[in-house]
Amino acid sequence: MAVTNALSSAPTGSDVDAQVKCVIQDLPQINAKLQDASPQEIIAWSVDNLPNLYQTTAFGLTGCVTLDMISRISAERAQQNGTPAKHLVPLIFVDTLYHFPQTLDLSERAAKHYQAPMHVYKPQGTDTTAAFEKRWGPQLWERDEDTYDYLVKVEPARRAYEELNVRAVFTGRRRSQGADRASLAPVEVDETGLIKVNPLLNWSFADVDKYVKEHAVPYNELLDMGYKSIGDWHSTSLPLGKEGSDERSGRWSNKMGKTECGLHKDYFKFKVLAEKKMREAELNRKDAAQA
């Protein structure tokens, strides 16, 4: 399938805002063009049409496949143009301070393997788990999961987008992961105007796993232990049920109905709620100190 530029009018020069506006205006036509496109075609279209494009990843299996595809497309284009090889899409990795050691190891291995520039962001003002817990207390995710998600994931990601002037990102979301992801479009725009591209939206876990094996893609060693969806160590367990069941059933398995960490929720609503809770927590700490 040949996927051509779906933009109604090509912006001139480096007018990033005009490019983004053009994509947003033509989003229905763009998604119609990309609906049945291969992941590689979606990635190639994105590289050609989206300014300030990054890949945001926690190095799940889908993210690793996307990274490999970007690397191959980058190499092909460099060869065609007779230019030095350069990974075309930089990485953003949010280190929550609660990742598995295997995830942290993979982030370094994968970035080095693909020679991909990687920007690492951590919770604001803290570089270690000890520093985070000194400020917010132990096991914040048990006491206030919304505030926890905001502090370790949503705020660092938003800070990355602002500091790096990110206008578009590749995600690792797929329809087969169910819940809110079941109705994904190839290209989406969130409430902040950030363009989110889901190149593997039509693939199953089996499709992703097959690609990893066929192309020797670096992956998280926890997958060999039966894990399928991997996040923070305290919210990740083996998938529930029999083989072939929901791959994300091992995420937040003790949190009834929770399916997302906050990165793909309404940012402004999430921010207001989290900041309100943080103010209340700060007042409670001051009251306790004065008692």
Q: Which residues are catalytic?
A: 261
Distance of alpha carbon 6 from its chain centroid, rounded? Answer: 25
Structure tokens at 4: 């051509």
Q: Are 68 and 91 in contact (CB under 8 A)?
A: no
Q: Could you tell me which of 198, 119, 201, 197 has the C-alpha nearest to residue 160?
A: 119
Q: Are 161 and 194 in contact (CB under 8 A)?
A: yes
Q: Could you tell me which of 185, 173, 168, 196 has the C-alpha nearest to residue 34?
A: 185
Q: Could you tell me which of 96, 148, 141, 94 has the C-alpha nearest to residue 273?
A: 148
